[in-house]
Structure 1
């Protein structure tokens, strides 16, 4: 985990070559190597981890944030695009607030990530958070008109 946190790509490569590495283990804070790489905004390490067939792309932190949710939260379109392409992605996974990656994109007024998630085709725009609001409700309240139009178009 330390190699991921410090962004040491070469060290991560060496560790991943080890057959006994448990890639989906979590640290004491409940973060996996993948979620730490996203939080550290380290694209190269994310790519290395995603290349492993045993990676659990939907593993979540203690706050139930997946790598995709974190990518949307931190406005990392490049990472979100990698995750959406992954065959095992659970695009509608929710965090502890009942919010998907789409909610995070809306809060950030991020049309690019919102489009990416919608383009995936499996996005559930009827998902309500713990406050009983959908991403569309929030976009309308925040007056993010381009995202409102996008979500209404598919709704």
Structure 2
């Protein structure tokens, strides 16, 4: 059976048109057509000299193609006259059991949130939710080990 992939992108500029926020995601039929497989959050600083093509961006890539593991890569990328480059900030791979899929990994809920709050606020809410989830999960593991106060 062939996989069908659907990719969507939402973008929004700040008030001064100097920063572009983008949320992009991909779905496929392999696991669940409504579940987000790859999610990218990007904050791109637009060029100081528009014809020069200089820009830098911070990118969060969230991979949920295996529903038992969530992988997160965070990096900074640059493009300018002298070429491109990137600096890896963090790589996280975690095996967590979700009682239910997080709201931002369900396409319908993600799209509703973007429509209601916009791209920048949705990106902030996704990252806040991820951090809260990791903190809660690690606190539970700490308690399981008998190390909590």
Q: Determine if the TM-score, normalized by the shorter chain, exceeds 0.5.
A: no
TM range (shorter): under 0.3
* Greater strand fraction, Structure 1 or Structure 2: 2
TM-score of the superposed pair, with normalisation by structure 1: 0.24
* Greater helix fraction, Structure 1 or Structure 2: 1
TM-score of the superposed pair, with normalisation by structure 2: 0.25
